[in-house]
Amino acid sequence: MAEFPSAVEAVRAALRFQSRIHEFAAADPEHGRVAFRIGVNIGDIIVEPHDIFGDGVNIAARLEGISASGGICISLSIHDQIQGKVDVDVVDPWRASAQEHFSSGSGLCGRHWWLVQHDGDIA
């Protein structure tokens, strides 16, 4: 769990994190690689000395759960905040074959987005 002062900084950090993990794991056999999923959302949170919680955190956790392995899933509000500010390709899962997964009881409603790096790999 991490908190950032802006959507742009959060997404850039997520991209750097996934990129570095991919670099570190590149030499490992594919079946033994560790892959992280990241969900990014903007919303109200409650910060306590050793914890962060609230609706913003809950939605980010759900986005993480539907993200591709090694990928990043962002909410529409994050997408709106980073448009034109972060150099990534965005895939609309409602137009992709993943639509079944999103409508199969994930508990999420509305539109959610995946970030994809320009080389075609899921960021």
Q: What is the mean pLDDT of the chain?
A: 79
HSE toward the beta carbon, residue 88, CA cutoff 13 A: 29
Percent of the chain whose predicted confidence (pLDDT) is above 70: 74
> Which comes out higher in pLDDT, residue 104 or 74?
74
Q: Which CA distances in Å does 43 have to 22, 83, 85?
A: 29, 18, 19
123 burial type by CB count under 10 A (0-12 exposed, 13-18 middle, 19+ buried): buried
Mean pLDDT, residues 65-93 taken together:
85
Please indicate whether residue 22 or residue 114 has the higher confidence score (pLDDT): 22
**Within 10 Å of residue 61's Cβ, how many Cβ atoms?**
13
In the chain the domains, ranked by start, together with CATH numbers, are 7-116 (3.30.70.1230)
Note the pTM of the prediction, 2 decimals: 0.77
User: Cα 22 to chain center, whole Å?
Assistant: 15
- Residue 50's CB: how many other CB atoms inside 10 A? 5
